[in-house]
Amino acid sequence: MRVTRRQLLTGAGASFLGLPLLRSVLAGPDARGRAPAPRRPKRFIFVFSANGQPRKLWFPSDQLPFQSVDGAADARVASLAALPQPELSPTLVPELSRFRDQLVLVRGLDVMQLNAWGHYAPKVLSGWPLQGQYRRTLDQVLAQSPVLYPTPPAHRSLHLLAQGPQSLEDPVSVAEIDGVATLIHGLQHPDEAFRRLFSSPTAAALGDTRRVDSERRILDRVLGQYLALSGDPRLGSEDRQRLAAHATLLDDLERRLLVSPTAPPTTCGKPGAPPHREPTNANMAATTEAHIDVLAAAIRCDLTRVATLQLCSSTDIRPYPEAEHGPFEAGHHLLTHITVPESEVKLGYINRAFARSVARLLEQLDAVEEPDTGRTFLDNTLIYWGNEFGTNYSHMASGMPVLLAGGKDVLRTGRYLDYRRTGLQFTARGPYVNELTDDDGGYEWRGRPYNQLLVSLLLAMGLTPADWERPDEPGFGSYGDSGGAYVLGDPRAPLPGLLV
């Protein structure tokens, strides 16, 4: 049981009336003989890219030794170690594939609504897929959770965007402030992000500081009452020992509250400030690298534990001169609507550039965080690289591309999970009717509800359904009309074979 400040203060007031704090409450479950809880990731990072992934380039070959997953229907698994070196797939480049034992590749997750086809980035983390359905996103649930932040953080979440010279669109993150949906746009300039992280406390951090100061004043008063009582000659020796123990406890709590939530550790490896660059197409490769460097430094310095990194905007139109054989005059978005083999090849080059950016992030977090255990920052972070569309040309949200990394001891890593219901036989054509085709509209064998991934991630981070569910909304996100095409099962259950 985690003891909150409110519980401590309430206990302090009760002790003033002669009721001592219970040692079993203070000691926690382990002191009562229970097994310790499994290690949970300390941090969550979402990396976004847009316009879908060409299926033949994103997923490995199906010619793999698959096995059934824990007896679950329509769930199979193969080891990523069985895939050929050096690339897991044409998109998942060698720089990324070298982390294969720390990755999970997931196939067969569908946004269930039939008309969830528009460019709408928030749906990836909210589970509400229709444009204008602004609901809180998973990252913001975590950012407000005491599970991740038992004490006030410097920054509850960090949001970065490599956009380039185009109009601002809906971001991936939505918060709810006083019941009102609030869009959280990413910072486009790494130098601004650096300055705000390492130099200037945010308004949120200032609010946390004021709350901490208020708690300190309360503790000072209660501690003074304890010390006054300790000199009362009527107190017996046993009560005197109890009061001394309580005073020591409150003194320790006060010292922890004195720690400034905006001060990075002196040994965290603060990077040099990146230069300011204009958001031109020619500068976006360097801007993306600087964003990743700033993000990794923020993680190492524990300035935040929740972050999103948009490698592009939702309707991304950049030509990608940094990609192999780039630039591409048609631009990223238009290439997805030109259904000829040459366009697919160019899309593959763009997505390989994204993969190298993800690899750069993993490399920077693959440094030892805990010398006594050897665990790295990557081990202690759950990273999700996702997309608003599926593995197709048609901008449908079926077969969503999902790559997870890190999350040691929580994710069953080194695996390729496939949830497609390949035994289905349908003849009608439509967005979620599953004739397997490679060269036309991009339809995929029907799989499982995508929302089940979001529930799995929340559970992996140590939350319970009571921490995020709304009345009459079990699970996470919308489980709207899919024409009866999906078996929902328990909306609170994780994906089979994903979690330890």
Kindly report, residue by residue over 46-99, the tens digit of the pLDDT.
Answer: 999 999 998 889 999 767 899 999 888 789 999 999 987 799 999 999 999 999
Cβ burial of 238 (10 Å; 0-12, 13-18, 19+) is exposed
Question: Is it the case that residue 380 has pLDDT exceeding 80?
Answer: yes
The domain limits of the chain are 5-34+207-257, 43-201+274-468
What is the pLDDT confidence band of residue 17, given thresholds at 50, 70 and 90?
very low
293-311 pLDDT tens trace: 999 999 999 999 999 999 9
Report the sign of the C-alpha dihedral through residues 116, 122, 128, 133, in that order.
negative
Burial 144-153 (b: 16+ CB within 10 A, else e): bbeebbeebb
Per-residue pLDDT of 326-365, as tens digits, reads 999 999 999 988 878 899 999 999 999 999 999 999 999 9
156-193 pLDDT, tens digit each: 999 999 999 998 889 999 999 888 999 999 999 999 99
CATH number belonging to the domain at 43-201+274-468, selected among 3.40.720, 1.10.10, 3.30.390, 3.30.1330: 3.40.720
Residue 401 or 113, more confident: 401
Question: What's the pLDDT score for residue 450?
Answer: 94
Place of tokens 């690298």: 289
CB atoms near residue 155 (< 10 Å): 22
Which pTM does this prediction carry?
A: 0.80
* 483 has a pLDDT exceeding 80: no
C-alpha span between 421 and 444 (Å, rounded): 10
Q: How far apart are CA 420 and CA 408, in angstroms?
A: 26
- With vertex at residue 453, the alpha carbon angle to CA 467 and CA 173, rounded to the nearest 5 degrees, is 65
Mean pLDDT, residues 433-457: 72
pLDDT tens-digit map of 263-298:
555 457 677 899 999 999 999 999 999 999 999 999
Q: What is the mean pLDDT of residues 225-247?
A: 62
Which of 230-234, 304-308, 322-326, 419-423 is predicted with the least confidence, judged by mean pLDDT? 230-234
